[in-house]
Amino acid sequence: MKVKTRFAPSPTGDLHIGSVRTALYSWLFARRYNGKFILRIEDTDFERSKSLSVESILKGLKWLGLNWDEGPYFQTQRLDRYREVIEIMLNTGNAYKCYCSPKEIEAERFKQLSEGKKPHYTRVCRNLKIKNINKKYAIRFKNPTSGKVTFEDKIRGKITFNNLELDDLIIQRSNGMPTYNFCVVIDDLDMNITHVIRGEDHINNTPRQINILKSLNAKIPIYAHVSMILNENGKKFSKRDNSENIIEYYKKGFLPEALINYIIRLGWSHGDQEIFNLAELKKLFNLDTINKSSSAFNIKKLLWLNKYYINNLSIDYICNILKDYMKNENINIEKGPNLKFLLNLYKNRFYTLQDMACNFRFFYEEFESFDLQSANKYLILKNLCILTNIYNKMKNFSFWEIEILSEAIHNEAIKLNIKLKEINMLLRVVLTGRAYSPNISSVIFLLGKEKTLLRLKKAILFIKNKTYVKS
């Protein structure tokens, strides 16, 4: 049997962590068994489907490298096929027309609820002898009224439903549109899907879908229902979590490798191993060790993994990704130190590309203003003389080397009898605009003479202006 899995999102919103995990599990399972992974967009719900969501889903999958072998198929392009099967089902008696109006259905529902019953469709049209041709109708599936449906869920084990609990579900609405539960079945059947891996919110749909498949004498695929992912507060993810869209993680400077590694471990394990690369996952992944309980999202762990990958993937690869990232942030790296050099020196300080871009920016661009608190503390009259001395000294340097720069700063500290730490902080504020940077001699070295002198001058002017305004 050739394994074939699918990811079948409804394009009603962005691609979020939960869906990515379903996609990832389906994709990996196909890759593990040299099977096929297909992408299907379930867009029959016209009112809620958006083309922007389709774009966002494709973009997210591509970013993560979850490539598909077939598709994307769009259900709205398969309407003829659904109608064809519905016609067959009407002819074989597996489906029937229901003439009940929404008003009648609602009235019945109300009555059942007031009698303390679970609302259900009473199947009044199932055996209608006289067909009222002039009335609008929906088409319902003739679900068996006795017996049970059982399936062996790969994650949850045996699950059984009583047929009587299942309504005769609508497979085509009165507006002629086939419904989700029906289209999924026909698609999975036509596309020879062997394993349906999806969210646990679909467990209740599964017996209905199996019954339709049975009525068509079709083979039943294997099902695996994946549990929910909860946010850091143990609640369902919501729009407020700001992590609804997987692309947000790109924007925040996460690497796809880290995200994949993180997401796979949200509910799947292989001993207590934490770090997995893709090649390894393609050999190891299976459905048997997926956890049935829900998993909680933990940003600290994701950050830790991201830092790990920043430091362990090849420097050229990280450098290229960072280049693109900085370009998107409008940082022009043409004029300034070699980015790979910067990375080599400082990469172990950072958790994300965003961190790096933000901290490397000052090497390439003049910063607009000093951090207020640091300026108040360091850019003061008392320090004017130190800065002027350093400026004059550095202006005459014909060699620009870390050792020489570091020695010059050191000597200045001794001469003026101030702590080296103080002078370093002062230079940090002067040259980077804030009180946090890597080793200051290496910063001065990488900035180069021209930028260093320019910034020293700027700070000297800043202090002079400030004191002038005050007096």
Interface with Zn ion by CB under 5 A: which residues?
98, 100, 125
**In the set 4, 5, 8, 38, which binds ligand GLU (CB under 6 A)?**
8
Tokens representing 241?
């979590």
> Cβ 266 to ligand GLU, closest distance in Å?
18
Nearest to 441 by CA among 402, 395, 399, 386: 402
14: contact with ligand GLU by CB under 6 A? no
221: contact with ligand GLU by CB under 6 A? no
173 versus 347: smaller Cβ distance to Zn ion: 173
Nearest to 252 by CA among 334, 352, 165: 352
Q: If contact means CB under 5 to 8 A according to the sort of partner, which of Zn ion, ligand GLU, none does residue 281 touch?
A: none
198: contact with ligand GLU by CB under 6 A? yes
Buried b (16+ CB within 10 A) or exposed e, 130-152: eeeeeeebbbbbbbeeeeebebe
> Do residues 6 and 19 touch, judged by C-beta distance below 8 A?
no
Q: How would you classify residue 378: left for phi > 0, otherwise alpha for psi between -120 and 50, otherwise beta?
A: alpha
> Do residues 423 and 386 touch, judged by C-beta distance below 8 A?
yes
How far is residue 116 CA from its own chain's centroid? 43
Cα(252)–Cα(248) distance, integer angstroms: 6
117 versus 292: smaller Cβ distance to ligand GLU: 292
> Cβ 73 to ligand GLU, closest distance in Å?
12
10: contact with ligand GLU by CB under 6 A? yes
Q: If contact means CB under 5 to 8 A according to the sort of partner, which of Zn ion, ligand GLU, none does residue 125 touch?
A: Zn ion
> Do residues 163 and 144 touch, judged by C-beta distance below 8 A?
yes
Q: If contact means CB under 5 to 8 A according to the sort of partner, which of Zn ion, ligand GLU, none does residue 10 touch?
A: ligand GLU
> Cβ 59 to ligand GLU, closest distance in Å?
17
10 versus 295: smaller Cβ distance to ligand GLU: 10
Cα(411)–Cα(422) distance, integer angstroms: 13
72 versus 337: smaller Cβ distance to ligand GLU: 72
**In the set 4, 25, 29, 42, which binds ligand GLU (CB under 6 A)?**
42
10 versus 439: smaller Cβ distance to ligand GLU: 10
187 versus 257: smaller Cβ distance to ligand GLU: 187
Instruction: Quickly list DSSP for 73-131.
Output: EEGGG-HHHHHHHHHHHHHHTSEEEE---HHHHHHHHHHHHHTTPPP----TTTT-SS-
184: contact with ligand GLU by CB under 6 A? yes
Q: If contact means CB under 5 to 8 A according to the sort of partner, which of ligand GLU, Zn ion, none does residue 184 touch?
A: ligand GLU
> Cβ 84 to ligand GLU, closest distance in Å?
21
> Do residues 41 and 77 touch, judged by C-beta distance below 8 A?
no
223 versus 250: smaller Cβ distance to ligand GLU: 223
* HSE-CB for 91 with a 13 A CA cutoff: 7
**In the set 4, 31, 142, 202, which binds ligand GLU (CB under 6 A)?**
202
Query: Which residues make beta-bridge pairs with 153?
Result: 157
Q: If contact means CB under 5 to 8 A according to the sort of partner, which of ligand GLU, Zn ion, none does residue 98 touch?
A: Zn ion
Query: Which residues make beta-bridge pairs with 197?
Result: 224
Size of the site for ligand GLU (CB under 6 A): 7
Tell me which residues touch ligand GLU (CB under 6 A).
8-10, 42, 184, 198, 202
